Amino acid sequence: MNLSNNFTLAELTKSQTAVRKNINNEPGTAEIENLIHLAKTVLQPVREHFGKPVMISSGYRSPELCEAIGSSAKSQHAKGEAADFEIHGVDNKELATWISINCDFDQLILEFYIDGDPNSGWVHCSSKMESSRRQMLKAEKIEGRTSYSPILL
């Protein structure tokens, strides 16, 4: 099933962990509608602007899969509202900055990015059909724990 011109349901639900642990990672109708919205409002505009494939590392995750990887069953991934991604050859901070200016997003996180290392980390972005917070954060490890703090891009 195509979610947009360049994104499929299969690529936004693919999970090696789900396969390995035999976890059902099939979204319902509401989650698919949210994935279509995410693809059309964030992922497709990113693909068209940069002209390169967007590599999705995590899209939809069922509540059971979220818990299996140590995430929350209430994560926006479990609602089909979020994806983690990057583009080969594009600095992740540049990618996040472009999204912050040009896309309608709910939450944008520059995850584990190290200034000066364009290949470090990845971008997490969510989009909601209703009102968006436009929250921008950076995630980093501090004393072995993930810490989130506001960021201006």
pLDDT per position as a tens digit, 119-151: 999 999 999 999 899 999 999 999 999 999 999
Cα 108 to Cα 126: distance, rounded to the nearest angstrom: 7
Q: Is the pTM of this model over 0.75?
A: yes
**Does the pLDDT of residue 2 top 90, yes or no?**
yes
Strand stretches in 26-151, DSSP E? 55-58, 82-86, 107-111, 122-126, 135-142, 145-150
What pLDDT sits at residue 131?
87
- Alpha-carbon distances of 48 from 51, 106, 128, 136, rounded to whole Å: 5, 20, 21, 22
- Mean pLDDT, the chain, integer: 96
Question: 76-89 pLDDT, tens per residue?
Answer: 999 999 999 999 99
Cα 108 to Cα 73: distance, rounded to the nearest angstrom: 19
